[in-house]
Amino acid sequence: MSTAVTQHVDEVKSTPWSGGRSPFNVEYGKMMMWFFLLSDAFTFSSLLISYGALRFSAPTWPSPSLVFQSVPGTSIEHGAPLVFVGIMTFILIASSVTMVLAVEAGHRNAKKEVVTWMLFTILGGLMFLSCQALEWNHLHSEGFWWGHIPTKEVMSEFFKGNVTEGQMAMTSHQFANLFFTITGFHGFHVFSGVVINIIITINVLLGTYAKRGSYLMIEKVGLYWHFVDLVWVFVFTFFYLV
């Protein structure tokens, strides 16, 4: 009797009407990563919404095409808006592609390929941070910094139309504080991702995940790295395009 009932239950489970897999049938670590990314998304959203509120309520605002018209580290000082940040964006997106390839190699348990693509991802993160350091240093030399108001001559180069000195001073101060806070917060995430990627790569070299029989940890780290790349798209749009 028991055998017959068991066989009937198995037959019911195998039918098209037996339902799909449970939505909670997700590995614990991956679910926790999604929870963390969701909470982090709220933090970035609040910062960018604050920027947007100030940006569109202000009588004037520094023009991105004038503030970011140079290429730090070169002799190009004018007439090249978005060139440098375009390079930064390309580097970060390319590192996201290499992370995808690392995850894919992990699914095939291809240890050497995982190491190769992880190293390229780490290199991309370091290059992005280096570019950000160059940009910060350039803006600091121009007079933009936390709590600092540039000189009238410097401010006048970054505004279009007739703007009073008081308006320039107020909005330059707000722009600098928000720019360095938000891009710095994002840069901290990139730096953290690079450190985590280095640790994961060392574990791959030591054979930690090969012994476990799963490279799922690469996928978890990949989720974080893709999130950092996605956030940069919004930061890029808010500060460099709008």
Write a three-state SS string for the chain.
CHHHHHHHHHHHHCCHHHCCCCCCCCCHHHHHHHHHHHHHHHHHHHHHHHHHHHHHHCCCCCCHHHHCCCCCCCCCCCCCCCHHHHHHHHHHHHHHHHHHHHHHHHHCCCHHHHHHHHHHHHHHHHHHHHHHHHHHHHHHHHCCECCECCCHHHHHCCCCCCCCHHHHHHHHHHHHHHHHHHHHHHHHHHHHHHHHHHHHHHHHHHCHHHHHCCCHHHHHHHHHHHHHHHHHHHHHHHHHHC
The answer to whether residue 69 sits within a structural domain is: no
Q: Has residue 133 been placed in a domain?
A: yes
Q: Is 105 a member of any domain?
A: yes
How many separate domains does the chain show?
1
For 194, the domain range is 80-139+180-241
108 within domain boundaries: yes
Task: Give 17-58 pLDDT, tens digit per residue.
Answer: 555 565 566 778 888 999 999 999 999 999 999 999 999 999
Tell me what pLDDT residue 5 has.
46
Tens digits of per-residue pLDDT, 127-177? 999 999 999 999 988 888 888 878 888 888 888 878 888 888 889 889 999
215 is a domain residue: yes
- Is 113 inside any structural domain? yes
| 125: in domain | yes
| pLDDT for 94 beyond 50 | yes
**Reported pTM:** 0.86
Structural domain contains residue 29:
no
CATH number for 123: 1.20.120.80
